Structure 1
Amino acid sequence: MLPLRQIKPKNARTKRYLDNKAPQQTENPRTTLFLKYTTCSEILQLLLTDLYALKRPLAVKFGKKNDIHPFEDPSSLEFFSEKNDASLMVFASHSKKRPHCLTFIRFFGFKVLDMIELSVIPETMRTLSQFKNEKTAQGLKPLLSFSGSGFESPTPNAYTLAKSVLLDMFKGPDVAEVDVEGLQYMIHFSVDEEDGDDAVSKPQIHMRSYLIRTKKSVPASNLPRVEVEEMGPRVDFRVGRIQEADPEMLKEAMRKPKGMDPKTKKNIETDIIGDKVGRIHLGKQDLGNLQTRKMKGLKRSRDVVDGDGDDEVMGVAEMGLEGDKRARVEV
């Protein structure tokens, strides 16, 4: 495969465009490109339209047909990725051997990172227009939920790859805060339990989209009542071919740039409830050489006798001098 052509900027406008496409400390929001093969069924065209509606404005949809085979020669896909500055792609194709296929592709550095092929089950397909209710506003982030043991497998497989790709596909741009009023819809993915080893009996992936409705609470409670209403699209997938990421490329894609992690202060940390906790280290102290200040209030009375019954008075020691004279010295 020949490397992609490197463009040298000829003016300031081209330089700004190339700098925007270059690796950055904080990357731009991911753009999804929608393409279709020379043969594309009507079901796939309707599904592409609905997925494009959910992804706007971070989406580009092409109407022209393209003779591309993603798993055989991805060079054309990499060309489209660099040309449109898109790191995600959905490619729709239909053939006798593989009918109603959607291929979800991720890129890193405008090179194919990994791919997964999901076959649409036609009889389960329901479009957005078939649900007669309101639709969400454009550009909102959805709530994403995944259920099923296949998505949580400790060993990487097709379903863990599907979860990772679908999460990147629909999560939208990264934001620090989200307004509660903007949480208007949810996309739920579920996978059936595995009951066989052949391709036909592989667990299916179910995609459902729901509107989130906040209604008045019951009289005995002050909390709002939340209900969900299906808005579409509704579709079931069967897992097909996959192409896992190269380990070296995946390691480079997962690497965090320097300066992204907050600087930690020595011996200062934050606990699970958000309180800042500090640790102080003290050197070894020799209490034998500790200088204390003498105070009258700390002296014991001379009338107090030691508990062992001795005749000595606490705090007073008698010292013998010349003759019968004795002196008391306080210690």
Structure 2
Amino acid sequence: MLKIKTPKKGRVKRELEKRAPKLVETGKKTLLLQGTKTSNTLNAVLTELYLLKKGSVVRYTRKNENIRPFESGGETSLEFFSLKTDCSIFVYGSTSKKRPDNLVIGRTYDHQIYDLVEVGVENFKPMNSFAFDKKLAPQVGSKPFVCFIGEGFESVEELKHLKDVLVDLLRGEVIENLNLAGVDRAYICTAASSNRVFFTHCALRLKKSGTIVPRMELVEIGPSMDLIVRRHRLPNDSLRKEAMKTAKDQPKKKVKNVSHDSIQGKIGKIYIPDQKLGDMALPNKSKGVKRERREGKRKNDPNKHASKKQKEDSM
């Protein structure tokens, strides 16, 4: 039997708790990899993705020969790297004569390959090629808008799948409340045809509009590129069913003597037990109280505590 080791140090224990399954997931980490052959365009694309997702991304710059995502047996290395880095999204770049400037974007569930989308990169423009005010540069960790324009994202199966993957890749950490002052960027994806998507990155500029709500302008800051959908693989039905499981909402415990009213709000009843003042211990025992107790005892039993004068009269 395998021996199960428990962490002895607090740092290791906290790290394992972060990797443990959660009912509500936070942001997903991204893993950037490259194959045996890459071009200058692919290296620039991976570098730009690393800068855009700084803080929640891991990049490996070594060449990987055994990674073939769409072939059986070529996913072992990807699953190993996913388990090692605790990343649930990966971007793998490679180039060949048949598929130049090729990017494979995939997701994993329980460190197993969930789905894959393969796209080709064309007309790439890095951030350095755009002239804009450096004050408009997005801050690290800011929350972006993700906008999809075109009917193809709702009707074409390949584009629908690409939309789901891009949302997970770009949205960052999942939050409940949002401050509009911290939203300073937008990713815009436009479906030009059934297999071509124009991707660009813009900064949001707030201007006066004469009202409380400011007027927004988009300033293109890059990168921008054309994504050509080549191949995609949907998840298995059994794996999809297992990944889509959600925890049942636990019923709230009924609180006694508490009710809710639409006008008064939360109403509670408080029950106070009877106060027995006679049994309470007094903090200060004054002499007057002692004298009253002695007199009360004499009245109840006069023969027991009789004074000397009373004893002489009786004799």
Aligned to 1:98: 99
Aligned to 1:150: 152
Match of 1:29 among 27, 30, 35: 27
- Is 1:257–2:254 an aligned residue pair? no
Shift of 1:55: 1.0
Q: Contact 1:9 / 1:18 at 8 angstroms: preserved in 2? A: no
- Structure 2 Cα separation of the partners of residues 264 and 93 of structure 1: 55
Match of 1:18 among 16, 19, 28: 16
Q: For residues 247-275 of structure 1, what are the alpha-carbon distances to aligned partners after superposition, in whole Å with 9 as ceiling and x for unaligned?
A: 1111111111233x88699xxxxxxxxxx
- Please give the TM-score of this superposition, normalised by the length of structure 2: 0.73
CA RMSD of aligned residues (A): 2.3
- Structure 2 Cα separation of the partners of residues 108 and 6 of structure 1: 26
Structure 1 spans left out of the alignment, 5+ residues: 195-202, 266-275, 277-331
- Structure 1 Cα separation of the partners of residues 192 and 219 of structure 2: 22
- Structure 2 Cα separation of the partners of residues 262 and 70 of structure 1: 43
Which of the pair is proportionally richer in helix? 2
- Structure 1 Cα separation of the partners of residues 213 and 12 of structure 2: 54
**Cα 1:262–1:86 shift into 2, 3 Å:** farther
Aligned to 2:76: 75
- Structure 2 Cα separation of the partners of residues 145 and 176 of structure 1: 19
Q: For residues 125-152 of structure 1, what are the alpha-carbon distances to aligned partners after superposition, in whole Å with 9 as ceiling and x for unaligned?
A: 1101111223211011110111111111
**Cα 1:131–1:39 shift into 2, 3 Å:** same
Q: Per the alignment, in what secondary structure is the counterpart of residue 161 of structure 1?
A: helix
- Please give the TM-score of this superposition, normalised by the length of structure 1: 0.70
Match of 1:210 among 202, 207, 230: 202
Amino acid at match of 2:49: L
- Structure 2 Cα separation of the partners of residues 238 and 6 of structure 1: 49
Structure 2 spans left out of the alignment, 5+ residues: 255-261, 263-315
Aligned pair count reads 247
- Structure 1 Cα separation of the partners of residues 193 and 227 of structure 2: 14
Q: Contact 2:25 / 2:174 at 8 angstroms: preserved in 1? A: no
**Cα 1:262–1:241 shift into 2, 3 Å:** farther
Q: Per the alignment, in what secondary structure is the counterpart of residue 231 of structure 1?
A: strand
Aligned to 2:58: 60
Shift of 1:64: 1.1
Q: Per the alignment, in what secondary structure is the counterpart of residue 229 of structure 1?
A: strand
| Structure 1 residues 219-238: aligned runs within 5 Å | 223-238=213-228
Aligned to 1:305: none
Shift of 1:38: 1.1
Aligned to 1:182: 182
Q: Contact 1:206 / 1:236 at 8 angstroms: preserved in 2? A: yes
Shift of 1:118: 0.6
Q: Contact 1:140 / 1:183 at 8 angstroms: preserved in 2? A: yes
- Structure 2 Cα separation of the partners of residues 252 and 6 of structure 1: 28
Match of 2:142 among 140, 143, 146: 140
**Cα 1:229–1:19 shift into 2, 3 Å:** same
Shift of 1:15: 4.2
Q: Contact 1:106 / 1:115 at 8 angstroms: preserved in 2? A: yes
